[in-house]
């Protein structure tokens, strides 16, 4: 687990083994192989005055924004308008990002690879010319999943390829065995939507009808897909015209110079951040449940980031082999990681990550869950293996930037809906028409805790920063359901010095119909996927609740609505994570809670007054305040300082009494404090060596070359203690997960938690390489 850094030349991305976008995901080489028939515009000004730069930069940003607005206006589909499942980009001639948009962040990471593949594979035959556009959705070339259809538009100036404008928009349906093309029971990609490697659908500014008909033919909703295609086309044309207008006004060398300077400035800012951070390796381990109906196994996903000087390398080594219908391709994995990279380390570049990417490598292991080989099923990637690739990236990057006090303020714990608990339902609606839908509510998510503030309750999913969930009244108008409630759930937010955001639960009964047919599709119901960080606890798991033959009608008749499904009588049924075709009758009550956000730091360090305010606001229960936070409240609801101090001391003692202690007798270090590797873990000098130490009491946690966890007191607790909403994992999976707590052997301070299967080795989450 603690392997030394490999030489960069050994990385598979650089060796370009078989990652050609056909059997394995396409990994672009450092130097693209482009046909000489395609001339690239490569002349640009190196010195641009600050005013021209700012004016053109602002205009380019607006070009991209107008591009996104054009797609939304023309499409008008709920996908484009509510879920904002789209993203426009501008890239340089050689496919470095200048800008992408604030919409679906996944889509950024899958854009440049598709343009690069097109440059390599289409520049000779059929050629890339002025007035062409390419349509693409092949996840092995670079889409997240088949429904994310891209339209790539080269922009030419005087016969040379000047830059690219592109967009990506999720389509209603492009074929496959399930309406909507989201195919949870697919055996492989042949059961899923049509796969289209980049094809020239627009030639010399004309739509090629033959290609368009081929594209639309496999869709169940060809009219909607055709309209969306026109929206994408208009978006690209708008952006292309505006770029050309900028060139006409300011000159090609200036506009290109601005693009390159945006990249160079971003690169410089990124390197400046890297220079402030120690070299090292940071790891995280998460699990996906239920890869196909009936599966009770657990599938491991590993993420490693290595920082070596000016370079970051992401790896997925240790991830389990591809399986069932949960996989993602290389581009999905890379796109997921780029979301966290942008949000934590490049946010001030305003979506210009191209400069940073010059120093980031991705080293995939093929055939794995998140770098699956053809023809694995990948249509559910964005809600399964891309989520599970993304959220650990918040952890590893947060730990990487923590040593720097300023960058620390940008870190973020894992947010809510870290796996999507899908509610797929269908039938005849209250208007007499056939319908099929996936409940969008989990997009309400939750945002993870920060190093200096609480997370944001129902603050959305971090990967789609500007989406909105539909109002209950919107859902009830369109579908035959009546919501008994949609509410934030007490204690769902991960406990910590800073608390994770709460998530919410939606609960409905059929209304205006006799029956609703449903499927579930979820993971993260047994093992929390929004793990906390640096002593913070996990947020709530996903949870389905189903009560058959309830007394809800009687309660409604008495005008006495329940505040929770638990207040009703009926027969509780456990829904499995890929349960197919179960029927909800009017007396049956269905509720779905989406996972909440992780907490930051030891909950016993949380200011008691904040816990009191949480209890007052219903964010934390009295029981959790006492048991997890060790806060004793007075009758007036305020915290009792003395009693709390005593209760917390007792809890720390109890931790140590329960725990397995390290062999070495604890001793204090008095060497100089170098920095805080985490909120609880210091790096101190000890003679000529560097050691890990408790950030609270300076107890020695061993030399830097070792895993600090081995010198901690280890307390393995049932997973149910990690969050009040976590229930018996045995309902869904066979392996037994545990909540491992690693404490300072002297003072009992919680250094770190781990959520792991019983037999899994202790994770070496941090290994620093200091000089």
Partner 1 sequence: MTYLVGVDIGGTFTDCAIVDAKGRLLTTKVPSTPQDFSRGMMDALRAGADALELELDAFCRSIAFLSHGTTVGTNTIIQKKGAKVGLITTKGHEDAIHIMRGSRGYAGRDIRKVVHFPETAKPTPIVPKRLIRGVSERVDCFGEIVVTLNEAQAEAAIRDLVAQGVEAIAICFLWSFRNPRHELRLRELVKKIAPGLFVTCSVDIAPKWGEYERVTATALNAYLGPVMSGYLARIDRTLTDLGYRHGLQIAQCGGGTVPVERAGEAPLLTLDSGPVAGVTASMFLGQAMGDANIITTDMGGTSFDVSIIQGGKPAYSFVSNTDQYEYFLPKVDLQVIGAGGGSLARAHPETRTLTVGPDSAGAFPGPVCYGRGGTVPTVTDAQLVLGYLDPDNFAEGRLKLDVAAATEAIAALGASIGMGAVECAAGICRIVELNMADIIRKVTVEKGFDPRDFVLYAFGGAGPAHAGVFARELGVKKVVVPQRKAASTWCAFGAAAADVLHVLEHTEIMATPVPAGRVNANLERLEKQARKVMKAEGIAGSRQRFEFSLDVRHRGQINEVEVLLPWKRLPTGYEAALRKMFVARYEQLYGKGSALAGAQLEIVVCRLRARALTPRPKLVRARRSSAKIPAQALLRRREIYWPDLKRRRVTPIYDGERLIIGNRLRGPAIVETADTTVVVHPGRTLRLDPLGNFEMTFDR
Q: Which of residues 473-502 bind partner 1 (CB under 8 A)?
A: 473-474, 476-477, 482-488
Q: Nearest 5°: CA angle at 274, between 11 and 751? A: 95
Q: How far is the CB of 700 from partner 1 (least distance, A)?
A: 33
Q: How far is the CB of 737 from partner 1 (least distance, A)?
A: 28
Q: Among 17, 248, 275, 561, which residue sits at the site for partner 1 (rule: CB under 8 A)?
A: 561
> b/e per residue, 181-220, with b = 16+ CB within 10 A?
bbbbbbebbebbbbbbbbbbbbeeeeebeebbeebbebbe
Give 473 or 642: the residue with its C-beta nearer to partner 1: 473
Give 375 or 512: the residue with its C-beta nearer to partner 1: 512
Q: How far is the CB of 412 from partner 1 (least distance, A)?
A: 6
Query: How far apart are the C-alpha atoms of 444 and 458, rounded to whole Å?
Result: 5
Site string for partner 1, 602-621 (x = CB under 8 A): --------------xxx---
Strands 360-363 and 504-510: unpaired
For 101-235, strand residue ranges (E) read: 133-136, 148-157, 160-170, 199-203, 206-207
Give 461 or 518: the residue with its C-beta nearer to partner 1: 461
Q: List the interface residues with partner 1, window 639-658 (CB under 8 A).
A: none
Q: Nearest 5°: CA angle at 587, between 581 and 590? A: 55
Q: List the interface residues with partner 1, window 234-253 (CB under 8 A).
A: 234
Q: How far is the CB of 229 from partner 1 (least distance, A)?
A: 11
Q: How far is the CB of 563 from partner 1 (least distance, A)?
A: 7
Q: Among 129, 230, 311, 426, which residue sits at the site for partner 1 (rule: CB under 8 A)?
A: 230
Q: List the interface residues with partner 1, window 324-343 (CB under 8 A).
A: 342-343
495: DSSP letter: P
Give 501 or 735: the residue with its C-beta nearer to partner 1: 501
Query: How far apart are the C-alpha atoms of 274 and 266, rounded to whole Å?
Result: 12
- The answer to whether residue 268 forms part of the interface with partner 1 (CB under 8 A) is yes
Q: How far is the CB of 560 from partner 1 (least distance, A)?
A: 6
Q: List the interface residues with partner 1, window 499-538 (CB under 8 A).
A: 504, 507, 511-512
Strands 360-363 and 311-315: parallel
Q: List the interface residues with partner 1, window 17-76 (CB under 8 A).
A: 49-51, 53-55, 57-59, 61-62, 65-66, 69-70, 73-74, 76
Q: List the interface residues with partner 1, window 85-104 (CB under 8 A).
A: 102
DSSP assignment of 247-278 equals HHHH-HHHHHHHHHHHHHHHHHHHHHHHHTS-
Number of residues that bind partner 1 (CB under 8 A): 90
Task: Give me the phi and psi of 707, to 5 degrees please.
Answer: -90, 120
Q: How far is the CB of 1 from partner 1 (least distance, A)?
A: 30
The pair of structure tokens assigned to 679 is: 């909120």
Please state whether the peptide bond connecting residue 234 to the residue before it is cis, i.e. omega within 30 degrees of 0.
Answer: no
Q: How far is the CB of 618 from partner 1 (least distance, A)?
A: 6
Give 365 or 430: the residue with its C-beta nearer to partner 1: 430
Q: Among 244, 428, 472, 736, which residue sits at the site for partner 1 (rule: CB under 8 A)?
A: 472
DSSP assignment of 382-416 equals GGTTTHHHHHHHHHHHHHHHTTSTTGGGG-----S
Q: Calculate the dihedral angle through the C-alpha atoms of 718, 723, 724, 726, rounding to the nearest 10 degrees.
A: -70
> b/e per residue, 289-315, with b = 16+ CB within 10 A?
bbbbbebebbbbbbbbbbbbeebbbbb
Query: How far apart are the C-alpha atoms of 263 and 549, rounded to whole Å?
Result: 61
Q: Among 90, 385, 462, 695, which residue sits at the site for partner 1 (rule: CB under 8 A)?
A: 462
Q: How far is the CB of 108 from partner 1 (least distance, A)?
A: 10
The pair of structure tokens assigned to 427 is: 């039938």
Give 152 or 231: the residue with its C-beta nearer to partner 1: 231
Give 195 or 411: the residue with its C-beta nearer to partner 1: 411
Interface stretch with partner 1, choices 86-94, 121-129, 228-236, 758-766 (CB under 8 A): 228-236
Q: Among 208, 261, 606, 684, which residue sits at the site for partner 1 (rule: CB under 8 A)?
A: 261
Q: Any long-range contacts for 476-479 (C-beta under 8 Å, 24+ apart)? A: 476/511, 478/429, 478/435, 478/437, 479/425, 479/429, 479/435, 479/437
Give 358 or 658: the residue with its C-beta nearer to partner 1: 358
Distance linking the first and last C-alpha atoms of the chain: 21
Q: How far is the CB of 212 from partner 1 (least distance, A)?
A: 14
619 half-sphere exposure, CB direction, 13 A CA radius: 26
Q: Calculate the dihedral angle through the C-alpha atoms of 392, 626, 681, 601, rounding to the nearest 10 degrees.
A: 40
**C-beta of residue 710 within 8 angstroms of C-beta of residue 752:** no
Q: In the block, which residue shows the tokens 């080594």?
A: 317
CA 629 to chain CA mean position, Å: 28
Site string for partner 1, 412-441 (x = CB under 8 A): x-----------------xx----------
Give 128 or 414: the residue with its C-beta nearer to partner 1: 414
Q: List the interface residues with partner 1, window 127-166 (CB under 8 A).
A: none
Give 615 or 690: the residue with its C-beta nearer to partner 1: 615
Q: How far is the CB of 258 from partner 1 (least distance, A)?
A: 10
Q: Among 43, 217, 452, 653, which residue sits at the site for partner 1 (rule: CB under 8 A)?
A: 452
Interface stretch with partner 1, choices 365-373, 405-413, 516-524, 698-706 (CB under 8 A): 405-413
Q: Among 17, 245, 275, 466, which residue sits at the site for partner 1 (rule: CB under 8 A)?
A: 466
Give 372 or 447: the residue with its C-beta nearer to partner 1: 447
Three-state helix/strand/coil letters over 158-173:
CCEEEEEEEEEEECCC
Give 76 or 375: the residue with its C-beta nearer to partner 1: 76
Q: How far is the CB of 350 from partner 1 (least distance, A)?
A: 4
Query: How far apart are the C-alpha atoms of 472 and 474, rounded to whole Å?
Result: 5
Supply the angle between the helices 330-345 and 112-122 in degrees, to the nearest 10.
130
Give 17 or 275: the residue with its C-beta nearer to partner 1: 275
Give 467 or 766: the residue with its C-beta nearer to partner 1: 467
Q: List the interface residues with partner 1, window 578-607 (CB under 8 A).
A: none
Q: How far is the CB of 221 from partner 1 (least distance, A)?
A: 10
Q: Among 40, 199, 214, 227, which residue sits at the site for partner 1 (rule: CB under 8 A)?
A: 227
The pair of structure tokens assigned to 506 is: 């939606």
Give 13 or 410: the residue with its C-beta nearer to partner 1: 410
Give 52 or 769: the residue with its C-beta nearer to partner 1: 52
Q: How far is the CB of 250 from partner 1 (least distance, A)?
A: 11
Give 19 or 594: the residue with its C-beta nearer to partner 1: 594
Q: Which of 193, 286, 297, 378 is nearest to 578 (CA)?
A: 297
Strands 360-363 and 422-428: unpaired
Query: How far apart are the C-alpha atoms of 283 and 607, rounded to whole Å?
Result: 30
């Amino acid at each position: 687990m603690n392997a030394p850094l490999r030489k960069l030349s050994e990385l598979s991305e650089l060796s370009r083994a078989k990652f050609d976008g056909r059997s394995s995901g396409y990994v672009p080489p450092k130097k693209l192989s482009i046909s000489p028939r395609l001339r690239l515009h490569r002349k640009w000004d190196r010195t641009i005055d600050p005013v021209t730069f700012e004016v053109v930069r602002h205009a380019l940003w607006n070009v991209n924004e107008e591009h996104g607005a054009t797609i939304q206006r023309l499409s008008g589909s709920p996908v484009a308008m509510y879920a904002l499942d789209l993203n426009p980009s501008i890239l340089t001639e050689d496919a470095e990002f200048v800008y992408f948009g604030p919409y679906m962040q996944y889509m950024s990471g899958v854009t440049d690879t598709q343009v690069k593949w097109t440059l390599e594979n289409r520049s000779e035959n059929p050629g890339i010319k002025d007035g062409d556009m390419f349509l693409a959705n092949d996840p092995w070339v670079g889409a997240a999943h088949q429904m994310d259809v891209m339209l790539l538009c080269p922009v030419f100036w005087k016969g040379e390829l000047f830059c690219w404008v592109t967009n990506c928009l999720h389509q209603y349906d492009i074929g496959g065995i399930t309406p909507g093309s989201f195919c949870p029971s697919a055996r492989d990609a042949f059961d899923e939507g049509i796969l289209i490697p980049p094809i020239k659908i627009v030639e010399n500014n004309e739509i090629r009808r033959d290609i368009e008909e081929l594209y639309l033919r496999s869709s169940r909703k060809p009219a909607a897909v055709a309209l969306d295609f026109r929206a994408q086309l208009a978006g690209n044309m708008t952006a292309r015209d505006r770029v050309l207008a900028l060139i006409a006004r300011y000159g090609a060398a200036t506009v290109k110079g601005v693009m390159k300077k945006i990249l160079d400035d971003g690169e410089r800012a990124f390197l400046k951040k890297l220079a402030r951070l120690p070299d090292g390796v940071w790891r995280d381990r998460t699990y996906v449940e239920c890869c196909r109906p009936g599966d009770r196994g657990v599938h491991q996903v590993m993420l490693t980031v290595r920082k070596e000087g000016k370079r970051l390398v992401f790896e997925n080594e240790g991830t389990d082999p591809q399986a069932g219908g949960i996989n993602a391709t290389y581009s999905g994995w890379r796109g997921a990681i780029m979301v966290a990279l942008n949000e934590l380390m490049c946010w001030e570049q305003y979506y210009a990550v191209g400069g940073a990417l010059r120093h980031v490598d991705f080293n995939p292991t093929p055939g794995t869950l998140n770098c699956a080989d053809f023809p694995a099923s990948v249509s559910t990637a964005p809600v399964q293996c891309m989520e599970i690739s993304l959220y650990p990236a918040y952890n590893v990057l947060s730990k990487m930037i923590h040593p720097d006090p300023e960058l620390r303020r940008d870190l973020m714990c894992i947010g809510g809906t870290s796996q999507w608990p899908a509610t797929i339902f269908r039938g005849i609606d209250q208007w007499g028409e056939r319908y099929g839908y996936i409940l969008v509510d989990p997009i309400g998510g939750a945002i993870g805790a920060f190093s200096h503030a609480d997370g944001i309750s129902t603050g959305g999913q971090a990967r789609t920063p500007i989406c909105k969930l539909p109002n209950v009244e919107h859902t009830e108008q369109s579908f035959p359901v009546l919501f008994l409630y949609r509410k934030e759930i007490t204690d769902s937010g991960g406990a910590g010095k800073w608390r994770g955001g709460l998530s919410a639960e939606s609960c409905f009964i059929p209304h205006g119909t006799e029956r609703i047919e449903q499927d579930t599709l979820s993971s993260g119901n047994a093992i929390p996927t929004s793990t906390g960080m640096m002593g913070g606890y996990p947020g709530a798991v996903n949870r389905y609740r189903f009560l058959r033959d309830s007394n809800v009608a009687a309660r409604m008749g008495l005008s006495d609505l329940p505040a929770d499904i638990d207040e009703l009588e009926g027969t509780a049924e456990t829904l499995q994570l890929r349960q197919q075709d179960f029927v909800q009758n009017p007396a049956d009550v269905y509720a779905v809670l989406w996972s909440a956000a992780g907490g930051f730091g030891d909950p016993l360090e949380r200011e008691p007054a904040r816990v009191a305010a949480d209890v007052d606001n219903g964010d934390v229960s009295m029981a959790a305040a006492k048991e997890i936070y060790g806060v004793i409240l007075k009758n007036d609801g305020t915290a009792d300082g003395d009693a709390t101090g005593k209760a917390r001391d007792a809890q720390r003692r109890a931790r140590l009494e329960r725990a397995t202690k390290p062999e070495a007798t604890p001793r204090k270090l008095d060497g100089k404090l170098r920095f805080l590797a985490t909120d609880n873990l210091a790096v101190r000098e000890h003679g000529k060596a560097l050691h890990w130490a408790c950030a609270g009491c300076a107890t020695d946690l061993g030399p830097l070359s070792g895993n600090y966890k081995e010198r901690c007191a280890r307390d393995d607790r049932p997973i149910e203690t990690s969050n009040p909403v976590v229930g018996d994992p045995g309902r869904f999976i066979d392996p037994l997960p545990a909540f491992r707590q690693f404490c300072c052997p002297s003072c009992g301070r919680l250094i770190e938690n781990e959520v792991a299967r019983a037999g899994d080795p202790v994770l070496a989450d941090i290994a620093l390489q200091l000089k």
